[in-house]
A and B are shown apart, each in its own frame.
Chain A
Amino acid sequence: MKKMKLVMVGNGMAGVRTLEELLKIAPDLYEITVFGAEPHPNYNRILLSPVLAGEQTLDEIILNPVSWYEDHQIRLHLGKTVTKIDRVRRQVIAEDGTVAEYDRLLIATGSSPFILPVPGKELDGVIAYRDIADTNTMIAAAEKYQHAVVIGGGLLGLEAANGLMLRGMQVTVVHLNPWLMERQLDDQAGELLRKSLQDRGLRFRMGAQTEALIGGTDGRVLAVRFKDGTEIPADLVVMAAGIRPNTTLAESAGLHCHRGVVVTDTLQTVTDPRIYAVGECAAHRGVAYGLVAPLFEQGKVCANHLAQFGIGRYLGSQTSTKLKVTGIDLFSAGDFMGGDGTEEIVMSDPFAGVYKKLVIKEDRLVGACLYGDTVDGSWYFKLLREGRKISDIRDKLMFGESNIGDVGHQGHNKAAAMADTDEVCGCNGVNKGAICKAIKDKGLFTLEEVRKHTKASASCGSCTGLVEQLLMFTAGGDYSATPKKKAVCGCTDMSHQEVRDAIVAEHLVRLSDVYDRLNWKTPNGCATCRPALNYYLISSWPKEAVDDPQSRFINERSHANIQKDGTYSVVPRMWGGETTADELRRIANAVDKYKIPTVKVTGGQRIDLLGVKKEDLVNVWRDIGMPSGHAYAKALRTVKTCVGSEWCRMGTQDSTQMGKDLEKAMWRMYAPHKVKYAVSGCPRNCAEAGIKDVGIIGVDSGWEMYIAGNGGIKTEVAHFFTKLKTAEEVLEYTGAFMQLYRKEGWYLERTVHYVSRVGLDHVKKRILDDHEGRKALWAELQYALDGEPDPWFEFTKAQVDLRQFDALPALPVPGATTATAPADVVSAATATVTALDGQVVRETL
């Protein structure tokens, strides 16, 4: 098939990112031609400031070298400005007469600096700050001249001023507004910033209006004159008073433009569906974005439509800002000015140079402005995008994420203050230096990319915040913004919630239905989405959806925990942590018989046998003769208990029996993640019920119920939920809460994260206030668990494929010339295999 022709006008970050996304999903669909007005391949425009400041070189900020274009067979026209689009002939024509035909056209012309219409603007030494050429002009000027004036005290202007100052010039910043960066900061933070920059040597003319630029006899600028008649000397004037979308070309082609090239949610121009626009030149729902994160989101959606997949819409972005001036920490996002209907929490310490303002509206964080201490910027930004209610953490909000429980990283959570050798990710042993190097060298933009390349935060995830901060400090705040809606994995653009909703709404009961109906991009998913989908199916449609063992992680397929050497561990269930001499004897015999190297008592009051060979698993289960402990599964694991009133002189309730009853009622219960309960017989709480998914504490008058505690990565004390009178009530309320979590929790989301996402109020409403609803949930759970098999004994029913426990011997075919193995080995390998239900299953045990 003949390839279609795609032409891109503009060779900047947004456009090239769109091509990268397109090549990833449809590498052979288009013959691609790119026109770039600059003589350089795609480079990282955001890093021009560090180049100007002498902290990086031009070579270091190239994102796609010319060889990249060659490797992907992209025809690249550098230094050619496109002057005309002929929509009838479907051609673009460049200044030098080069013509390219297109089937699809992508406009990514970016923006141009706004040049103040003052006399003298065309003088030598008057420039904008936008590209490599401007940067080089500034660097050259700094070597020859002394006085620089930067017009505009916004993000770009201040970065330019800082760079010129570092190169030895005396720099004055002229700003029309009373405070700096008024689009990103409030007056207080703006003033702190000005003081800090003034201390570094910058000069300021605030509230000053430029009237004219005065030239010398040589045609070069000499001074800047203000409305009040005063003048200051200037050998170099940098205009940084804002940018305007580059729409001249689009307008000349008759495309509708208003604050940019107007595009739909699919990034197609409203005028001509063959023509797309992304980046700073595009106006989406009236907004032209100037930060890179939203532009990359646009690129992804645009690529999807160019690839003719037709999925995904761009719905607009929230943005945050960070100033890339080394040593100045500043962050803002959302509605940081506040106003009617908003509440503000403010912390101000002008002497230490710290100012923080959080703006809250209707119990949600809607804006943040931080100066001097921006460690929690990414966390606030996350809260802002998620729009989560904050009443439960409001009193600690100002003090940051580390104050709401994260033992793993308390004490050293200031990414900027860390040394390069300090470890960031304890799971994968990745230090700060390695992460920053990868971000710089490989041009990483998102958390996902950092995870892929460095493995940092890819395991337990507790250092995610820290990695996001590093991303922010190294690459600028605008990079780090992970999209509000997170896709399950690369196989789909849908989020966990959307997938589950569709499974329920469309009554999907098979994985293949999910792939078909929800337009999965891969034929049979991947190791990330398959276990999640399988869980959503069986939890949404119990007794109807069929479990797929091949879509479960190995531990849930072999019903044991895989160890680093490929052996397994076995943890039998001990109801409520109680055992008997007989059970212990059987365990001891099995340890001897199967030469199990390690026997360990677990934290959950059970016994762990480590180093069991896979081929011994079935025999070990049989010999021990105890139920599966599900220590390997996203399911109910242990119910930890204290001795309670049976023996304890302090005990007020029979906690052991309560624990056993809970465990017997709910074992074999699969859940989004592992689930642990504990029951204590008195408030001394020896069973440590305060850090369990459900904790029950006996008091004289009954039981107290606590939920959503966690003793793992993120130590979280459980919330007091309710007080109950009888053991029956404990079963009902616990079961109902669990069923709610099973239905609403996302796969791999622990109860602590689930409850913090939906809010404790929501759970209380469903379980405590809605009596009928609670009873219905408890009944649903009992229905789902009724008849569930013990996978260690009921193999067929639990779909345990027993073939996995036997290895196949490599034996020569009869008559082959190579050595033969004894015939009895053949029969031994097949003797235990019988056909059952069309599936080969060994059912001898």
Chain B
Amino acid sequence: MSSWITICAVSEIPVLGARRVTRAKGPEVALFRTSDDQVFALLDRCPHKAGPLSQGIVFGQAVACPLHNWTIALGSGCAREPDEGSTPVFRVRVEAGQVMLDRNELDSIAVDLPPVKAGPCTRVSC
């Protein structure tokens, strides 16, 4: 059963841009808005090296990951050929200009992924 919750108005997402959505548990979800005001939601992690897709350049119905420029399709979450891999997709509903996500999906999809690490904590000696 779906349980839709309102996240924000469509207008709060920049055109050809994205917003991040925090969840109770698990990595953030990225909301994207295309030039024709369609809204898509993907897990905010690139299938390549977990780059935050919300920070990428949005074009057509795709986003270029800011870390290594993989192109991810907003509709399917799949990397464009010849790269391989995909990131989870969240269903989006837009009603009266409000963007809604499914609570069940937010609570269940990719909630146990560990955070990406960088900095001194990744050194062998630590």
Q: Which residue of B lies closest to A563 (CB)?
A: B118
**Contact present for A813 and B58 (CB under 8 Å):** no
Q: With A611-B119, A816-B5 known to touch, is A807 a contact of B55 (CB < 8 Å)?
A: no
Q: With A527-B56, A550-B17 known to touch, is A564 a contact of B8 (CB < 8 Å)?
A: no
Q: Say whether A558 faces chain B, with CB atoms less than 8 Å apart.
A: yes
Interface residues of A in 550-572 (CB under 8 A from B): 550-554, 557-558, 562-567
Q: With A526-B64, A553-B66, A554-B66 known to touch, is A808 a contact of B8 (CB < 8 Å)?
A: yes
Q: Say whether A610 faces chain B, with CB atoms less than 8 Å apart.
A: yes
**Contact present for B66 and A562 (CB under 8 Å):** yes
**Contact present for B118 and A565 (CB under 8 Å):** yes
In the assembled complex, how far is the CB of residue A813 from the closest CB belonging to chain B, in whole angstroms?
Answer: 5
Give the complex CA separation of A567 and B120 in angstroms.
14
Q: Which residue of A lies closest to B81 (CB)?
A: A452
Q: Identify which of B29, B119, B121 contacts A810 (C-beta below 8 A).
A: B29
What residues on A are CB-neighbors of B31 within 8 Å? 808
What residues on B are CB-neighbors of A557 within 8 Å? 55
Q: Identify which of A452, A801, A816 contacts B82 (C-beta below 8 A).
A: A452
Q: Which residue of B lies closest to A562 (CB)?
A: B66
**Contact present for A840 and B12 (CB under 8 Å):** yes
**Contact present for A550 and B57 (CB under 8 Å):** yes
Give the complex CA separation of A554 and B21 in angstroms.
18
Interface centre among A453, A803, A840 (most CB of B within 10 A): A803
Give the complex CA separation of A74 and B12 in angstroms.
47
**Contact present for B66 and A808 (CB under 8 Å):** no
Q: With A810-B23, A811-B5 known to touch, is A597 a contact of B82 (CB < 8 Å)?
A: no
Interface residues of A in 119-157 (CB under 8 A from B): none
Q: Say whether A245 faces chain B, with CB atoms less than 8 Å apart.
A: no
Q: With A527-B64, A809-B21, A811-B5 known to touch, is A558 a contact of B55 (CB < 8 Å)?
A: yes
What residues on B are CB-neighbors of A526 within 8 Å? 57, 59-60, 64, 71
Q: Say whether B67 faces chain A, with CB atoms less than 8 Å apart.
A: yes
What residues on A are CB-neighbors of B82 within 8 Å? 452-453
Q: Say whether A523 faces chain B, with CB atoms less than 8 Å apart.
A: yes
Interface residues of B in 56-91 (CB under 8 A from A): 56-60, 64, 66-69, 71, 82
Q: Say whether B14 faces chain A, with CB atoms less than 8 Å apart.
A: yes
Interface centre among B20, B57, B103 (most CB of A within 10 A): B57
**Contact present for B55 and A554 (CB under 8 Å):** yes
Q: With A553-B57, A562-B67 known to touch, is A803 a contact of B19 (CB < 8 Å)?
A: yes
Give the complex CA separation of A816 and B116 in angstroms.
33
What residues on B are CB-neighbors of A803 within 8 Å? 12, 14, 19
In the assembled complex, how far is the CB of residue B72 from the closest CB belonging to chain A, in whole angstroms?
Answer: 11
**Contact present for B59 and A810 (CB under 8 Å):** no
Q: Identify which of B14, B20, B101 contacts A807 (C-beta below 8 A).
A: B20
What residues on B are CB-neighbors of A813 within 8 Å? 4-6, 100
**Contact present for A522 and B60 (CB under 8 Å):** yes
Give the complex CA separation of A552 and B121 in angstroms.
31
Give the complex CA separation of A551 and B66 in angstroms.
12
Interface string of B13-40 (1 = CB under 8 A from A): 0111101111110001101000100000
Q: Say whether A812 faces chain B, with CB atoms less than 8 Å apart.
A: yes
In the assembled complex, how far is the CB of residue A83 from the closest CB belonging to chain B, in whole angstroms?
Answer: 40
Q: Say whether A348 faces chain B, with CB atoms less than 8 Å apart.
A: no
**Contact present for A816 and B66 (CB under 8 Å):** no
Q: Say whether A230 faces chain B, with CB atoms less than 8 Å apart.
A: no
Give the complex CA separation of A610 and B118 in angstroms.
10
What residues on A are CB-neighbors of B22 within 8 Å? 807-810
Give the complex CA separation of A530 and B58 in angstroms.
10
**Contact present for B59 and A566 (CB under 8 Å):** no
In the assembled complex, how far is the CB of residue A79 from the closest CB belonging to chain B, in whole angstroms?
Answer: 33
Q: With A527-B57, A812-B5 known to touch, is A565 a contact of B116 (CB < 8 Å)?
A: yes
**Contact present for B21 and A597 (CB under 8 Å):** no
In the assembled complex, how far is the CB of residue A519 from the closest CB belonging to chain B, in whole angstroms?
Answer: 16
**Contact present for B55 and A562 (CB under 8 Å):** yes
What residues on A are CB-neighbors of B117 within 8 Å? 565
In the assembled complex, how far is the CB of residue A434 from the closest CB belonging to chain B, in whole angstroms?
Answer: 13
What residues on A are CB-neighbors of B17 within 8 Å? 550, 801, 804
In the assembled complex, how far is the CB of residue B42 from the closest CB belonging to chain A, in whole angstroms?
Answer: 14
**Contact present for A818 and B8 (CB under 8 Å):** no
Give the complex CA separation of A608 and B60 in angstroms.
35
Give the complex CA separation of A809 and B5 in angstroms.
11
What residues on B are CB-neighbors of A522 within 8 Å? 59-60
Give the complex CA separation of A553 and B68 in angstroms.
12
Q: Say whether A598 faces chain B, with CB atoms less than 8 Å apart.
A: yes
**Contact present for A527 and B71 (CB under 8 Å):** yes
What residues on B are CB-neighbors of A810 within 8 Å? 5, 7, 21-24, 29, 101, 103, 106
Q: Identify which of A452, A523, A566, A804 contacts B51 (C-beta below 8 A).
A: A566
What residues on B are CB-neighbors of A811 within 8 Å? 5-7
What residues on A are CB-neighbors of B5 within 8 Å? 810-813, 816, 818
**Contact present for A564 and B118 (CB under 8 Å):** yes
What residues on A are CB-neighbors of B67 within 8 Å? 562, 564
Q: Say whether A477 faces chain B, with CB atoms less than 8 Å apart.
A: no
Q: With A562-B55, A810-B7, A816-B5 known to touch, is A550 a contact of B19 (CB < 8 Å)?
A: no
**Contact present for A527 and B69 (CB under 8 Å):** yes
**Contact present for B3 and A550 (CB under 8 Å):** no
Give the complex CA separation of A817 and B64 in angstroms.
37
Interface centre among A525, A526, A557, A564 (most CB of B within 10 A): A564
Q: With A566-B51, A816-B5 known to touch, is A807 a contact of B19 (CB < 8 Å)?
A: yes
**Contact present for A812 and B35 (CB under 8 Å):** no
Q: Say whether A524 faces chain B, with CB atoms less than 8 Å apart.
A: yes
Give the complex CA separation of A604 and B20 in angstroms.
33
Interface residues of A in 523-557 (CB under 8 A from B): 523-527, 530-531, 550-554, 557
In the assembled complex, how far is the CB of residue A526 from the closest CB belonging to chain B, in whole angstroms?
Answer: 5
Q: Which residue of A lies closest to B69 (CB)?
A: A527
Give the complex CA separation of A59 and B66 in angstroms.
40
Give the complex CA separation of A99 and B28 in angstroms.
60
**Contact present for B16 and A566 (CB under 8 Å):** no
Q: Identify which of B3, B11, B66 contacts A818 (C-beta below 8 A).
A: B3
Give the complex CA separation of A807 and B24 in angstroms.
13
Q: With A565-B117, A566-B116, A818-B5 known to touch, is A524 a contact of B20 (CB < 8 Å)?
A: no
In the assembled complex, how far is the CB of residue B16 from the closest CB belonging to chain A, in whole angstroms?
Answer: 4
Extra 12 A-B pairs, beta carbons < 8 Å, given A530-B57, A553-B57, A565-B115: A522-B59, A523-B35, A523-B60, A524-B35, A562-B67, A801-B14, A807-B20, A808-B7, A808-B22, A811-B5, A816-B103, A840-B12
Between A and B, 28 residue pairs with Cβ closer than 8 Å are A526-B60, A527-B57, A527-B59, A527-B64, A530-B57, A550-B58, A554-B55, A554-B66, A562-B66, A564-B51, A565-B116, A566-B116, A567-B118, A567-B119, A597-B120, A597-B121, A611-B118, A611-B119, A807-B22, A808-B7, A808-B19, A809-B22, A810-B21, A810-B29, A810-B106, A811-B6, A811-B7, A816-B3
